[in-house]
Amino acid sequence: MQKVKIFFVLLFFSLISYSHSPSEITASFDINTKMLYVSIEHSVKDVKSHFIKKIEIGINDKTIITQNYNKQQNESNQQAAYLIPDALVGDKITINAYCNILGKKSFIFTVNSPE
């Protein structure tokens, strides 16, 4: 029984060392076209076994978009674009990105008026 416990502890720590949260989220919102552009930094060796599995977009603390993935676009990041027709100047947009193994990163910003 002790060997089984040790095996699972080692397995747990190896998964933790293999996985990691997304490192950075950058985003921009074009108020004229109502388009949100998102880039999530997540360095991986194999885009099919370790990837951004889900992106959630919220506006004013309400989730409006959930997108699931089966692999990552490339070994360095996942990018996405979303049409958010209801977004107004002053709205708070929340972006949550989830690793398929372990970890989550969030980014929050306020929609600004066009420059």
Domain assignment of residue 2, yes or no = no
CATH number of domain containing 30 = 2.60.40.730
pLDDT in tens, 15-73: 444 456 787 999 999 999 999 999 999 999 999 999 999 999 999 999 999 999 999 99
Whole-angstrom distance between the N-terminal and C-terminal Cα of the chain? 65
Q: How far apart are CA 102 and CA 19, in angstroms?
A: 6
Cβ(106)–Cβ(24) under 8 Å? no
Domain assignment of residue 11, yes or no = no
Count of domains observed in the chain: 1
Domain assignment of residue 66, yes or no = yes
Maximal C-alpha separation, the chain: 65
Domain assignment of residue 14, yes or no = no
Domain assignment of residue 102, yes or no = yes
Domain assignment of residue 3, yes or no = no
Whether the predicted pLDDT of 95 surpasses 90:
yes
Higher-scoring residue by pLDDT: 57, 11: 57
Q: Which domain holds residue 27?
A: 21-110
pTM for this entry: 0.81
pLDDT at 7: 55
